[in-house]
Amino acid sequence: MQKVLTINPAAKGLIFDLDGTLADTMPIHYIAWKNAAASYGIDFTVELFMELAGIPLYPTVEKLNQIFGKNMNPQEVGDLKEEEFERNMHLTQEIKIVTGLVRANHGKMPMAIGTGGARRLVMKTLEFIGLKDYIDVIVCSEDVSNYKPHPETFLKCAEQMGIDPVDCEVFEDGNLGIQAAKKAGMMVVDVTKYYEVTIGK
């Protein structure tokens, strides 16, 4: 496994996903989804979780309805999941190999976060990992009409940083986010190659 994460010399702006990229929240999100879905007779596997990673809260429930032929109330199930996540989010650790890049480049180049998470929890997560004051541009689920794999999240980040999309480098852990970065014409790094993923183990 590669251990040195570097920035492409051509990059003029950096964009980071949050969950599973800067913050090791994925195991906490997974357990919360697993428990919420279990109440409705759904076996929420790690594979399914990884497939849906990057989709905002309520659209995830809509997707589960499609996959399993259910008629769950997206707000009810989503809120149930989010309450459990919030109860346990104090356990969040930073993913140091990635957060190290943010700390090292703070004040040196424009940086943004592009996430499918809700702003309130995004800010709370950044507080837990000590990055609240490091990144000015944050694009959350409330800020876009089209979520990943659509490139809107990352294109908005580039626009707000004032950087051309081709000059942006995206750091992502989810397949949908990687697709979104490629569609936006950006350089992209799959950060899961740089650290051990232990969801559901």
Q: Report residue 138's pLDDT band, with 50, 70 and 90 as the boundaries.
A: very high
Q: What is the pLDDT of residue 196?
A: 81
Question: What topology is assigned to 13-24+93-193 in CATH?
Answer: Rossmann fold (3.40.50)
Beta bridge partners of 138: 113
Block residue for tokens 């740089």: 194
pLDDT digits (tens, 9 = 90+) for 13-72: 999 999 999 999 999 999 999 999 999 999 999 999 999 998 999 999 999 999 999 999
Point out the catalytic residue in the list 17, 19, 24, 173.
17
At residue 197, does pLDDT exceed 90? no
Question: What topology is assigned to 26-90 in CATH?
Answer: DNA polymerase; domain 1 (1.10.150)
Q: Distance between CA 105 and CA 108 in Å, rounded?
A: 5
Domain boundaries, the chain: 13-24+93-193, 26-90
Sheet with strand 137-139: strands edge to edge: 137-139, 111-114, 13-16, 168-172, 187-190
Considering the entire predicted model, what is its pTM? 0.92
17 is annotated as an active-site residue? yes
